[in-house]
Amino acid sequence: MKAVIQRVSHAEVTVDRETVGSCGRGLLVLLGVAEGDTRQDAELLCKKIVNLRIFQDDAGKMNRSVLDVGGEMLVISQFTLMANCRHGNRPDFMASAKPNEAIPLYEYFKQLAAESVSRVECGVFGADMKVSLLNDGPVTIVLDTETLKK
């Protein structure tokens, strides 16, 4: 499971020009589910993200988590995080989980996040989404459960 986390002032996702999810100050999480990922991967990744100290404290140091600052979260499914670009110029996405595996893990991740973060919204799995955001910092972190397990 992979995630791109962006600290945002605000973010929103639209489908067919209609807002389906948004957040204020907090985190935009682009979430990719790989073939073979498990609920344990979702738990590990969610715990890491909600506790990631990437918000500034009173001294201006990144020392606070989204929980510490009462932030919000917008979670967007993004299978393209599993792109393999080793051969040629057209990415292959064979490493991404099929929808029947990915959707339950995506939903489980959102459920876990909502147990900790006061407001969690999301995009529409598999839809053509337009995401807009104001990156705060900018701060962007990439996490991969394969790396986190080591």
Q: What is the pLDDT of residue 111?
A: 97
Task: Indicate if 6 belongs to the active site.
Answer: no
Kindly name the residue from 6, 55, 79, 109 that is annotated as catalytic.
79
6 contacts 138 by C-beta, under 8 angstroms = yes
Task: Indicate if 78 belongs to the active site.
Answer: yes
Query: What single letter denotes the amino acid at residue 44?
Result: L
Task: Indicate if 80 belongs to the active site.
Answer: yes
pTM of the model: 0.95
Kindly name the residue from 80, 109, 140, 147 that is annotated as catalytic.
80
Return the closest-CA partner of residue 102 out of 17, 3, 31. Answer: 31
Kindly name the residue from 6, 14, 55, 78 that is annotated as catalytic.
78
Q: Which residues of the chain fall short of a pLDDT of 50?
A: none
Residue ranges of alpha helices (H) inside the chain are 39-51, 99-116, 145-148
Q: What is the pLDDT of residue 149?
A: 87
